[in-house]
Amino acid sequence: MIRIEEIFKNEQKIVLNNKKLDLFLNGVKLGTTLEDGICKVYNDKKIFVGIGVIKDNRLKRDVII
């Protein structure tokens, strides 16, 4: 079985603190300086949370585990 995190192993990643993670999980777009594209999202304990999409310096949730 292949984990989703492994499928996106070459994509950029972002670590969110608890406050930003709560906002992200509730659909709030977060500002970021990362490049547009797919992004792996981790909590502050470095646990994979899901996939986000960055467009115009805004991170939006896509797939949540």
Please provide the size of the chain in residues.
65
pLDDT of amino acid 44: 96
Whether the Cβ atoms of residue 61 and residue 27 lie closer than 8 Å to each other:
yes
Whether the Cβ atoms of residue 52 and residue 61 lie closer than 8 Å to each other:
yes
Whether the Cβ atoms of residue 20 and residue 27 lie closer than 8 Å to each other:
no
With tokens 């509730």, the residue in question is: 26
- The string of pLDDT tens digits covering residues 4-60 is 889 999 999 999 999 999 999 999 999 999 999 999 999 999 999 999 999 999 999
Per-domain residue ranges of the chain: 4-64
DSSP state of 35: P
pLDDT of amino acid 63: 82
pLDDT of amino acid 2: 86
Whether the Cβ atoms of residue 53 and residue 63 lie closer than 8 Å to each other:
no
Please name the CATH architecture into which domain 4-64 falls: Roll (2.30)
